[in-house]
Amino acid sequence: MFFASDNTSGIPAPVLAALTQASEGYALGYGADTLMDSVRAKIRRIFEAPEAAVYLVATGTAANSLAIATYVQPWSQIYCHRHAHIEEDECNAPEFFAGGAKLTLLEGADAKIDAEAFAQVLAAMHSGVHHPQPGLLSLTNLTERGARYTVAEIARLAGMAKAKGLAVHLDGARFTNALVAEGCTPAEMTWKAGVDVVSFGGTKNGLMGVEAVIFFDPAKAWEFELRRKRGGHLFSKHRYLSAQMDAYLTDDLWLDLAGKANAAAERLQAGLIAAGVRLVHPRGGNILFAEFPLAAHQALRAAGAVYYDWPAPPPDGAGPAHPQQCRLVTSWSTSAAQIDQFLSLLKAAL
Amino acid sequence: MFFASDNTSGIPAPVLAALTQASEGYALGYGADTLMDSVRAKIRRIFEAPEAAVYLVATGTAANSLAIATYVQPWSQIYCHRHAHIEEDECNAPEFFAGGAKLTLLEGADAKIDAEAFAQVLAAMHSGVHHPQPGLLSLTNLTERGARYTVAEIARLAGMAKAKGLAVHLDGARFTNALVAEGCTPAEMTWKAGVDVVSFGGTKNGLMGVEAVIFFDPAKAWEFELRRKRGGHLFSKHRYLSAQMDAYLTDDLWLDLAGKANAAAERLQAGLIAAGVRLVHPRGGNILFAEFPLAAHQALRAAGAVYYDWPAPPPDGAGPAHPQQCRLVTSWSTSAAQIDQFLSLLKAAL
Amino acid sequence: MFFASDNTSGIPAPVLAALTQASEGYALGYGADTLMDSVRAKIRRIFEAPEAAVYLVATGTAANSLAIATYVQPWSQIYCHRHAHIEEDECNAPEFFAGGAKLTLLEGADAKIDAEAFAQVLAAMHSGVHHPQPGLLSLTNLTERGARYTVAEIARLAGMAKAKGLAVHLDGARFTNALVAEGCTPAEMTWKAGVDVVSFGGTKNGLMGVEAVIFFDPAKAWEFELRRKRGGHLFSKHRYLSAQMDAYLTDDLWLDLAGKANAAAERLQAGLIAAGVRLVHPRGGNILFAEFPLAAHQALRAAGAVYYDWPAPPPDGAGPAHPQQCRLVTSWSTSAAQIDQFLSLLKAAL
Amino acid sequence: MFFASDNTSGIPAPVLAALTQASEGYALGYGADTLMDSVRAKIRRIFEAPEAAVYLVATGTAANSLAIATYVQPWSQIYCHRHAHIEEDECNAPEFFAGGAKLTLLEGADAKIDAEAFAQVLAAMHSGVHHPQPGLLSLTNLTERGARYTVAEIARLAGMAKAKGLAVHLDGARFTNALVAEGCTPAEMTWKAGVDVVSFGGTKNGLMGVEAVIFFDPAKAWEFELRRKRGGHLFSKHRYLSAQMDAYLTDDLWLDLAGKANAAAERLQAGLIAAGVRLVHPRGGNILFAEFPLAAHQALRAAGAVYYDWPAPPPDGAGPAHPQQCRLVTSWSTSAAQIDQFLSLLKAAL
């Protein structure tokens, strides 16, 4: 009953096998390994982007911060949702990598940027020398509240951004969960919708720690390479990143993993609804936010269920005695048995 | 009829005379001039702060950014009003000087931070490693909408900040305008109310370009000196900054100048009210925001009146045909004749 | 015959096994895994430093830059050898993480800092506000030219640094190679000699990509944690870093691996000397620099030997037709057969 | 007998008068003043550069750092002399403004970059992703040791830089002293010799604190404007910078001031030579470095002569009992009487 995060699960067997296999013999470092050639080719094919520049890093914060920094200046504004990961959970990493750029926060339910709210902000945007300058729009799909942008919604927001000269970044830490749920192609969710650069996550979907950064405009490649190196994110033994991503993209493993995680969340959701539990946000993929009565919450925790209060209770305990909301995340390894055990406990406690 | 800003006026005669006098003979540079000793002594006396560290810089952006950077880390949050100068009008200078720190925006009418809104933000503040860390609260008095914090309001907000471990900065670009209107002492508006460091403005109140930064805790002095130098804000011929500030603080010149500006604004306000013009924000000192009917606005402009539409119309002209609000700023040099001429034109146009 | 770098070899079986084992079940992320508790305890015991703060990152550039940044200010000077990795091979990463600090370069043969040269620089060091401020001394052992500092040499340089208020960092990308060759304890090479923080490398000695940063003063812990997160170097699935390092420190694996690499280099060295090849620098561990006649060089390359010209030939080909020096690096996986084949080819070509 | 620095002298009367005159009436701020139009036109004419972008800032550190930052990236190398002001006397300001770029130091007598030494560094320069990238060459004329580059020397160094893709900056804190002594045109010393951007100093040559930054390629203008604002170096009451520079460029005042300073140095030099004092560096303009016997030095100081030991004695007094070298700087206001009094004292003491 481990629903704390999709980053708490193990590594699928094909990925472990690929690591072992990659360890045979010698390989040049720093991205010059032949496995990276394979990764690049696969991503280009999957994204229908034969010119795309493709890079691997090990953390989502690195992927997001480096991708964004390549598109903005230190005097730029980066538009994102108030609850974006880059705003709330990266300890000012985007500001660090972008040399002191500013995050400008947008409103919207379920951590999705509201188009009307964005339009108002854009209308008031100025570009005189006193003001921060227009920079980039960063979207997150799935959002931090587990909701999903449709392709049309991405296209609309990206279109508004581009009309004002902003670049568009997609934080795809849970890209595949969104993709599978949306039932579209990677190209439809990204460059066909106006996205310039995507953080294509592997870690939350089963890898040890690998994220791809994909630039649809290869002119950005060299600057990204320098930024990656300067940020300490260029791996000497790069082949072990390549091997993971290569296995991930082989035989549709990436899609299978996300499909399993989403199906687990669907099963969990159905059980919660049947139990009369209120869900706080619409489910876009593998994340649920639920409200549990205090007694049920305590019983679940006592029985060993692991999940986060969300938002976290204030550090000084000044908040309500019981968190009103809990976050439950499933992963490729969440079993039906785990879910059913959790639901049984819940029903007994209600 | 020049109401564009208090930074468009000339320099009072005593300040010009002080510059000429300071130019006699030789003086060591970089703050080692004897005039600076006089400035330091005067500020310490005026602020009843015998240990205060006192520095001069030439711009308000430098004063604010350097003062704030001395109190925060690159991973900190700087809390300020959504319409603070440091947020809207400094082209990311605070983020630059603070190494990529984050500005977190607070709400409140008239560009004054609402205590309840601040309390909510503080209650939700986290300090785990993923999150931006608590840093500093920056207040502005007069605010960017011309309103004024009372001493009690400053003390309340500063107290809330300190209870959470935040330092407190006061952007006093129009400190003296606020002081004179509030009728309190400099100590009451600053360290007695919990302010740690103040940007004590001279430029908007008559000087060519001199702002003092006053640290009530002298332990911050050396770091500030290094930051000032590294920012290119340490003047070799520093005595010309000292001379201005020294003249400013002599014979109550600073208080007289602000008193004149405030009185001019009061006269203007009375005329506007008499003419039936709506004022958008309460007047805290020398700034007014007024709504003019379109025809009156056009007539005033045609007659040579200078003031800003506020907020500025969108660059692409997508906004309303007529700005709903205008900003009128008086200075020490605004004459009654200017005001009366402006009011006459207005009445004729209404 | 792969002597390009010790980062081109595979992963020892116990490390791969540890990864597979770590993948079982669920574990909290971001360093809260129980394997990290084991790593911390082992490092504290090995370094005889029960209070040390211990962290893992994935690259040497991250380890060095984050460690250094925790000890200096943006206005500081970082003293290092002219041929230090942090100067030549990190694309300004130290400057980036340290917010614009300055690297001041020191001279000395074999990439070892010469104590007399360092003394002269220290004697001329100023601390007035115009000047960069004293910050930190960074040593590298093994050096970038394969030489080794003795414990006494480290202690002497560190002592000189401390007398001037500088912190001391040890870039130990090849720490264990140096340790095994020197025959001292980890404590003797670090804190007993005056080192404050060490980048304790695992990657070049067999791991996929794991370096420990060890602070002997735990007061630096929290700042480092924030810097690591802000730099995108805190792994969500941290247990896979822990598992590698834990296996590395189990049953003396780390010492065995370095011992094998050093022994291979010794065998290679003996063969080169026997063949009459000049060695450019004294061998400190597992790195050799040799001068090959052009014909021998071409024959070796043609036969498939892989190693670097060093220094690299100028990009525009304006340098000498044949590089005068070549770098040969052995690793834990370098076999006697590889070495003997290489030496046979060399003798045939000479 | 004040020879400490040319920044210790007063302000010429025409400049003071211009300030007073500029103070009449109202003027828009932030560089929109009409005096700036005059300054721009004059500088374009003087430099025979009708397209040049021209800006004013108040300090030399700001001029240099902002100019350089506009031409480099954070991962760049900035080449300069080991004794350049940007290396030794700006507390890491160039690194700060350039986001962590690296200063790479060049050798040469009299603080002039030696072309052969520069050629060797350029030949070894690499541009792979691990290495700092080629950025900019910064020259200083007069140099920090008072020597002067000829136009041919500037052209040679700039040509070497450009052949490698480096931009070229000229730190002209004492530009006019060099110009007058060299007897060339401003164009010859700058863009005709390959200089891209020049810090055209006014402060050391009589102004209160005004330096022009001149870009011969106007494409750099907007980025500079943003950097200037973000650095807190855009003056609201900009007209007072313009007024000074405008007076400076009127009726050849700038040339007259530098001519006076140079003539004073020549008179002083002649007297020193006649007295048998050794001059350490060749005189390029208004700076002399002399070796005084200890007794003479003490007598001069006792008589009130003000000048700097150079290099400064070590802070801990570990250096020689008597500084071997002293720096003597003349300015536009140095009188023949001062010089003769100084020389008399010296002769008496020898």
Question: Mean pLDDT, to the nearest integer, of D65-76?
Answer: 98
Tell me the chain A residues in contact with residue D99 when contact means C-beta distances shorter than 8 Å: 74, 99
Measure CB to CB from residue B226 to each of C75, C230, C234 and give the nearest one: C75
pTM assigned to the model: 0.96
A237–chain B Cβ distance below 8 A for any pair: no
Q: What is residue B269's predicted lDDT score, i.e. its pLDDT?
A: 98
pLDDT digits (tens, 9 = 90+) for C23-34: 998 988 999 999
pLDDT digits (tens, 9 = 90+) for D123-177: 988 889 999 999 999 999 999 999 999 999 999 999 999 999 999 999 999 999 9
Contact (CB<8Å) A9/C26: yes
A321: confidence class by pLDDT, cuts 50, 70, 90? low
Contact (CB<8Å) A133/B103: no
Contact (CB<8Å) D29/B23: no
The three state secondary structure string of chain D is CECCCCCCCCCCHHHHHHHHHHCCCCCCCCCCCHHHHHHHHHHHHHCCCCCCEEEEECCHHHHHHHHHHCCCCCCEEEEEECCCHHHHCCCCHHHHHCCCCEEEEECCHHHCCCHHHHHHHHHHCCCCCCCCEEEEEEEECCCCCCCCCCHHHHHHHHHHHHHCCCEEEEEECCHHHHHHHHCCCHHHHCHHHCCCEEEEECHHHCCCCCEEEEECCHHHHHHHHHHHHHCCCCCCCCHHHHHHHHHHCCCCHHHHHHHHHHHHHHHHHHHHHHCCCEECCCCCCCEEEEECCHHHHHHHHHCCCECEECCCCCCCCCCCCCCCCEEEECCCCCCHHHHHHHHHHHHHHC
Residues 6+ apart with CB under 8 A from A233: A57, A58, A59, A62, A66, C59, C62, C232
Write the class of the CATH domain C254-349: alpha beta
The three state secondary structure string of B209-228 is CCEEEEECCHHHHHHHHHHH
Question: Mean pLDDT, to the nearest integer, of A228-257?
Answer: 98
A3: confidence class by pLDDT, cuts 50, 70, 90? very high
Mutation pick from D129, D220, D234 vs chain A, by most beta carbons of A within 10 Å, is D129
Q: What is residue D323's predicted lDDT score, i.e. its pLDDT?
A: 53
pLDDT digits (tens, 9 = 90+) for B203-238: 999 999 999 999 999 999 999 999 999 999 999 999
Q: Is the pLDDT of residue A174 over 80?
A: yes
Nearest-CA distance C35 → chain B (Å): 20
Q: How far apart are CA C322 and CA C281, in angstroms?
A: 19
Q: Is the pLDDT of residue B323 over 60?
A: no
The three state secondary structure string of chain A is CECCCCCCCCCCHHHHHHHHHHCCCCCCCCCCCHHHHHHHHHHHHHCCCCCCEEEEECCHHHHHHHHHHCCCCCCEEEEEECCCHHHHCCCCHHHHHCCCCEEEEECCHHHCCCHHHHHHHHHHCCCCCCCCEEEEEEEECCCCCCCCCCHHHHHHHHHHHHHCCCEEEEEECCHHHHHHHHCCCHHHHCHHHCCCEEEEECHHHCCCCCEEEEECCHHHHHHHHHHHHHCCCCCCCCHHHHHHHHHHCCCCHHHHHHHHHHHHHHHHHHHHHHCCCEECCCCCCCEEEEECCHHHHHHHHHCCCECEECCCCCCCCCCCCCCCCEEEECCCCCCHHHHHHHHHHHHHHC
Q: What mean pLDDT, rounded, does chain B reach? A: 95
The percent of residues in chain D predicted with pLDDT above 90, rounded, is 90
C225–chain B Cβ distance below 8 A for any pair: yes
For A335, phi and psi rounded to 5 degrees? -95, 155
pLDDT digits (tens, 9 = 90+) for A25-53: 899 899 999 999 999 999 999 999 999 99
Task: Name all chains with 3 or more CB-CB pairs below 8 Å to chain A.
Answer: B, C, D
Tokens encoding D194: 């390959």
Q: What is residue D125's predicted lDDT score, i.e. its pLDDT?
A: 86
Q: Tell me C214's DSSP state.
A: E
Tell me the chain B residues in contact with residue C231 when contact means C-beta distances shorter than 8 Å: none
The residue in chain A having the minimum alpha-carbon distance to the alpha carbon of residue B106 is A105
Residues 6+ apart with CB under 8 A from A299: A345, A348, A349
Q: Is the pLDDT of residue B141 over 90?
A: yes
Contact (CB<8Å) B59/D235: yes
Q: What is residue C323's predicted lDDT score, i.e. its pLDDT?
A: 53
Contact (CB<8Å) A226/D99: no
Q: What is residue A325's predicted lDDT score, i.e. its pLDDT?
A: 85
Q: What is residue C82's predicted lDDT score, i.e. its pLDDT?
A: 97
A225–chain D Cβ distance below 8 A for any pair: yes
The series of mean pLDDT values per 10 residues for chain C, 350 residues long, is 91 97 92 96 98 98 98 98 97 97 98 98 90 96 98 98 98 98 98 98 98 97 98 97 98 98 98 96 97 91 92 58 79 97 94
Contact (CB<8Å) D2/B62: no
pLDDT digits (tens, 9 = 90+) for D293-310: 988 999 999 999 999 988
Tell me the chain B residues in contact with residue D66 when contact means C-beta distances shorter than 8 Å: 232
Q: What is residue D23's predicted lDDT score, i.e. its pLDDT?
A: 95
Tell me the chain A residues in contact with residue C90 when contact means C-beta distances shorter than 8 Å: 229-230, 232
Count other Cβ atoms within 10 Å, centred on residue D55: 26
Contact (CB<8Å) C95/D102: yes
The residue in chain B having the minimum alpha-carbon distance to the alpha carbon of residue D28 is B8
The residue in chain D having the minimum alpha-carbon distance to the alpha carbon of residue A232 is D130
Measure CB to CB from residue C29 to each of A5, A23, A62 and give the nearest one: A5
Q: What is residue B129's predicted lDDT score, i.e. its pLDDT?
A: 93
Q: How far apart are CA C288 and CA C280, in angstroms?
A: 8
Question: Mean pLDDT, to the nearest integer, of B246-265?
Answer: 98
Task: Name all chains with 3 or more CB-CB pairs below 8 Å to chain B.
Answer: A, C, D
Tell me the chain A residues in contact with residue B92 when contact means C-beta distances shorter than 8 Å: 74-76, 100-102, 132
Task: Name all chains with 3 or more CB-CB pairs below 8 Å to chain C.
Answer: A, B, D
Q: What is residue B185's predicted lDDT score, i.e. its pLDDT?
A: 98
B225–chain C Cβ distance below 8 A for any pair: yes
Contact (CB<8Å) A131/B95: no
The residue in chain C having the minimum alpha-carbon distance to the alpha carbon of residue A307 is C28
A323: confidence class by pLDDT, cuts 50, 70, 90? low
Measure CB to CB from residue A89 to each of B88, B101, B130 and give the nearest one: B130
Q: Is the pLDDT of residue D19 over 70?
A: yes
Question: Mean pLDDT, to the nearest integer, of A73-80?
Answer: 97
Q: Tell me B314's DSSP state.
A: P
pLDDT digits (tens, 9 = 90+) for B34-57: 999 999 999 999 999 999 999 999
Q: Is the pLDDT of residue D15 over 70?
A: yes
Nearest to C90 by CA among D134, D101, A232, A235: A232
Q: What is residue A350's predicted lDDT score, i.e. its pLDDT?
A: 86
pLDDT digits (tens, 9 = 90+) for A277-306: 999 999 999 999 999 998 899 999 999 999
A203–chain C Cβ distance below 8 A for any pair: yes
Taking the domain D12-252, which CATH number applies?
A: 3.40.640.10
The residue in chain B having the minimum alpha-carbon distance to the alpha carbon of residue D10 is B23
Contact (CB<8Å) A92/B102: yes
D34–chain B Cβ distance below 8 A for any pair: no
Nearest to A162 by CA among A118, A132, A213: A118
Nearest-CA distance C223 → chain B (Å): 10
Mutation pick from A59, A64, A76, A91 vs chain B, by most beta carbons of B within 10 Å, is A91
The residue in chain B having the minimum alpha-carbon distance to the alpha carbon of residue A132 is B91
Q: What is residue B310's predicted lDDT score, i.e. its pLDDT?
A: 83
Measure CB to CB from residue B133 to each of C73, C75, C226 and give the nearest one: C226
Contact (CB<8Å) B30/C129: yes
For C214, phi and psi rounded to 5 degrees? -120, 115
Contact (CB<8Å) D237/B25: no
D199–chain A Cβ distance below 8 A for any pair: no
In what helix (H) or strand (E) does residue B308 lie, and over which residues does it extend? strand B308-309
Contact (CB<8Å) A100/B96: yes
Q: Is the pLDDT of residue A314 over 60?
A: no
Nearest-CA distance D129 → chain A (Å): 6
Tell me the chain C residues in contact with residue A229 when contact means C-beta distances shorter than 8 Å: 61, 90-91, 93
B166: confidence class by pLDDT, cuts 50, 70, 90? very high
The percent of residues in chain D predicted with pLDDT above 70, rounded, is 96
A226–chain D Cβ distance below 8 A for any pair: yes
Q: What is residue C313's predicted lDDT score, i.e. its pLDDT?
A: 63
Nearest-CA distance C131 → chain A (Å): 23
Question: Mean pLDDT, to the nearest integer, of A128-142?
Answer: 95
Q: Is the pLDDT of residue D319 over 80?
A: no
Q: What is residue B98's predicted lDDT score, i.e. its pLDDT?
A: 98
Cβ-Cβ pairs closer than 8 A, A with C, add up to 137
Measure CB to CB from residue D226 to each of A30, A129, A229 and give the nearest one: A129
Measure CB to CB from residue A88 to each of B100, B127, B131 and give the nearest one: B131
A322: confidence class by pLDDT, cuts 50, 70, 90? low
Nearest to C297 by CA among C277, C315, C314: C277
What are the sequence ranges of the domains in chain A?
A: 12-252, 254-349
Q: Which of A184-198, B95-109, D314-328 has the lowest mean pLDDT?
A: D314-328
Task: Name all chains with 3 or more CB-CB pairs below 8 Å to chain D.
Answer: A, B, C
Q: What is residue B126's predicted lDDT score, i.e. its pLDDT?
A: 82
Q: Is the pLDDT of residue A65 over 90?
A: yes
Tell me the chain C residues in contact with residue A231 when contact means C-beta distances shorter than 8 Å: 93, 96, 231-232
C320–chain A Cβ distance below 8 A for any pair: no
Nearest-CA distance B66 → chain C (Å): 14
Please name the amino acid found at residue C174.
R
Q: What is residue C127's predicted lDDT score, i.e. its pLDDT?
A: 81
Contact (CB<8Å) C225/B133: no
The residue in chain C having the minimum alpha-carbon distance to the alpha carbon of residue B97 is C99
Question: Mean pLDDT, to the nearest integer, of B52-66?
Answer: 98
Q: How far apart are CA B34 and CA A137, in angstroms?
A: 52
